[in-house]
Structure 1
């Protein structure tokens, strides 16, 4: 390997390491404001698109592996496939930028990179193999005081902030190399400083304009702490788990407890959803609800429904000729009624696979999933407590990283976000910590309280500013109680969703059309010259 090739490789590695080093739960978030500069440098100094593609792929693969290595706890082949595929898709906006910059000045070309990348993030939020864990705007979850303006932009604003900073600092360095301390250099440097500082100032001003409300009703969240690989789904231990969930709940309940929240799949049985009241295994649960008629229970369960014919590709055929659909469900119970929501944003691999990847089903079946995949609700379903105290957004596990999707619940009158999850599959890794931190951004976007019940942790209450008010640590059994307000107002973001991503997609389309035109025009000129 010659010196030039070796230098490019080290630059690519540096970019991947910087992205990882600035990601939650690392405190080095500021690194992200310069973490893309190595790839911008490679785009500037590499003449071959194939070489640039290879170097950018290495950089993005390093970022994916170092930041989300813990997904291999589910399946090593599945995790490796995710690293390779996600890194490949991430290269597409960089390749589009590499070609676009040939026809535009550096600063305008840098703007094309911003909208290309944001369009990629938006698409990654909305297709079947969705994996928005590394959306750049998620990186500020550790610093809610920096991004109180997410109530207007959602995480798209954070992605724009990071990308714009990187484009500007790269241009500052290049301008200094070319012109020294020229007026142009100082203008770009000033623009970069303003880019870093103005959003923080806006965040402080936004927060000062908020007023928290209070009421007398409280919410109780339970963390049972069952190992999903060993205890939780072990045959013969279901009744013990259910009784312990009830006992833990009763430790903190009082006359003002309007809602108790149990984690994802807390009901340790696969149950027919239209026969819940007849299910003898749930007799202790119904007795518990009758003893506390003023209280509502939100719990996760693994639901089933029977059908005489196949109703979807997820329905599995039974020996009697009928079909059964499986769901990862959230159920709201009171002493008389049941409301059920089926998880809609499903985890690629364990919970859903496109038809062309169906052969990978056995790799994920043991990871709390099904061979055929779960069916889903096609729209957000607000769960309303019997006394009308809370209208609940039921975010089941992975769904809590979809700000735009959760905003649709707020548009329907939701006033409390309840996250129910089981992060024990990942073990004591950065995965569960990142997942909890992301929930803080949902609180800011919607200005709603978040009650988060996690099987093995971290269970917590998060206020509408994104501050963690109470929490239970990882791998500890416990219960929390918190008086929370039911906020009915909407934010700009919950009214309009991912509007900023949509605007970026329109701009990206314009850049791509320009790129196609210039490429076609240049080829036509070349043909005319040779003819």
Structure 2
């Protein structure tokens, strides 16, 4: 709190007129907000990080507010996804330009809404709408504000009713509450905003603790084994390492209990697999294990990022990844970018055409490959087809570990709560874990107290549920009701005096 008070004094002293000082405070908001996603120990920063930018918006014109918010957004997303630069610096730069618009554009509305009596409701609603647009239509639902609270299990149980959106709303609401007090708005307005926040916060926690106390449905169970092979990205797809990789996979497979389903990460198998998966069938039969493995499948002239389930008897089923990574698995607008020579050197992975459950004994598996756990609509499609367990297989070796591995774990926790399903996460270099339907990380693979860049096997028991949550039935109701509420508040704002 001392930091916030001192920052306010500093801003008032120079009146937010000096360009470098304004850029500093705008960047500070972006930087602190970004840090909130990089470690659970820093997640508290997001609860006050926006007040510096809000002060800047209040004291500057609309064009300047757009510019300063763009800078704040650029710094924010750079702090969060700088690791994309390990793969493509040019791609990172253009991605940052695009994502920064999701801070800059709403800032124009936020500047106006800060003047309203109900700014503490209107500003969070507008922010959440733009988060929703980024996740739903913008193709990059990474680091939504609510995700930063993935360790605050009691707070985020509301997710199985309304999704991540009310958590993001609450975070921005508290920032506006602080802004109102620091700006010395009408005392009645400031107190009302605080009371609304405290009411919502207590409601979230009341519902959360009540949910955690309810007995879990534990009628049917299944044994699983998650493999973390820790294959260096530099070795993948180099023929001289194929046998070494295969030997490692076989070694870990043999350690799994015979009665469990052994789950390997995305694209684990070092060879491209044909449509009959002959080598994998032989592997399952030889070692008498049931296997779910990520492979690169070749079918005629097309390649697919595929998850294949093979029983020890040699029967198989497969799911082809639907949501492909732009500039990673395919080049968007390729014909318009053909003048860039490096673009022409990339081949495209083909997308699958349908949601397919992988069935194993009493498991109906929704397999989410790589960043498909960012898409709640996709997960819901799996659940509506009968999925009773979620599996995320991924290879995050590209991005050199922290903080990317923490950031990728965050949405997985929310998907588990949204659908009240266990989520099993098998990651090449980590983090591999078992997440309960309440979002608690029940077991996590550790070797010598390390979670990433280690190889190992994580065995566990999961319980199954066929229940459909309120969120699964009414996924976007918070956005719709919030939109209606926002319009009503705008109409009556001037008529209600504090």
Give yes or no for TM over 0.5.
yes
SS of equivalent residue, structure 1 residue 106: coil
Counterpart position of 1:68: 81
1:494 matched to 2:475? The reply is: no
SS of equivalent residue, structure 2 residue 28: helix
2:352 is matched with which residue: 377, 383, 387? 377
For 2:51 and 2:325, how far apart are their aligned partners in 1? 32
Post-superposition offset of 1:359: 4.1
For 1:240 and 1:32, how far apart are their aligned partners in 2? 44
Alignment of 1:35-434 (within 5 A): 35-46=49-60, 48-98=61-111, 100-101=112-113, 105-109=115-119, 111-127=121-137, 130-174=139-183, 177-179=184-186, 182-213=187-218, 215=220, 217-228=222-233, 230-254=234-258, 256-257=259-260, 259-272=261-274, 274-277=275-278, 282=279, 285-291=280-286, 295-306=289-300, 324-334=301-311, 335-355=313-333, 358-359=337-338, 371-385=346-360, 387=361, 389-434=362-407
8 Å contact from structure 1 (residues 75, 363) kept in 2: no
For 1:304 and 1:430, how far apart are their aligned partners in 2? 33
8 Å contact from structure 2 (residues 269, 295) kept in 1: yes
Which region of structure 1 is more displaced relative to structure 2, 245-254 or 191-200? 191-200
For 2:270 and 2:481, how far apart are their aligned partners in 1? 44
Q: Which runs of 5+ in 1 are unaligned?
A: 307-323, 515-531
Q: Deviations over 1:107-147 (max 9, x none)?
A: 445544333322222222233x5111121121111222321
SS of equivalent residue, structure 1 residue 133: coil
Equivalent residues, number: 470
Which region of structure 1 is more displaced relative to structure 2, 7-16 or 66-75? 7-16
For 1:190 and 1:328, how far apart are their aligned partners in 2? 50
Q: Deviations over 1:292-318 (max 9, x none)?
A: 66x531111112222xxxxxxxxxxxx
1:483 is matched with which residue: 441, 448, 461? 461
For 2:347 and 2:252, how far apart are their aligned partners in 1? 35
Q: Deviations over 1:59-97 (max 9, x none)?
A: 111111112111111111111221122112431122233
1:466 matched to 2:439? The reply is: yes
Which region of structure 1 is more displaced relative to structure 2, 111-120 or 401-410? 111-120
8 Å contact from structure 2 (residues 369, 393) kept in 1: yes
Question: Structure 1 residues 153 and 201, CA, compared in 2 at 3 Å: closer, same or farther?
Answer: same
Counterpart position of 1:441: 414
TM-score, normalised via structure 2 length: 0.86
For 2:277 and 2:239, how far apart are their aligned partners in 1? 20
For 1:2 and 1:488, how far apart are their aligned partners in 2? 58
Post-superposition offset of 1:480: 1.2
Q: Which runs of 5+ in 2 are unaligned?
A: 1-13, 446-450, 492-498
For 1:237 and 1:164, how far apart are their aligned partners in 2? 53
For 1:40 and 1:216, how far apart are their aligned partners in 2? 50
8 Å contact from structure 1 (residues 397, 422) kept in 2: yes
TM-score, normalised via structure 1 length: 0.81
Q: Deviations over 1:161-205 (max 9, x none)?
A: 21222233323333xx255xx444433333333343332232111
8 Å contact from structure 2 (residues 148, 410) kept in 1: no
Which region of structure 1 is more displaced relative to structure 2, 423-432 or 104-113? 104-113
8 Å contact from structure 1 (residues 221, 249) kept in 2: no
8 Å contact from structure 1 (residues 404, 498) kept in 2: no
For 2:126 and 2:182, how far apart are their aligned partners in 1? 23
1:14 matched to 2:28? The reply is: yes
Which region of structure 1 is more displaced relative to structure 2, 88-97 or 53-62? 88-97
For 1:455 and 1:65, how far apart are their aligned partners in 2? 25
Post-superposition offset of 1:360: 8.9
SS of equivalent residue, structure 1 residue 248: helix
For 1:360 and 1:205, how far apart are their aligned partners in 2? 58
For 1:54 and 1:184, how far apart are their aligned partners in 2? 29
Question: Structure 1 residues 151 and 361, CA, compared in 2 at 3 Å: closer, same or farther?
Answer: farther
Post-superposition offset of 1:22: 2.2
Which region of structure 1 is more displaced relative to structure 2, 75-84 or 433-442? 433-442
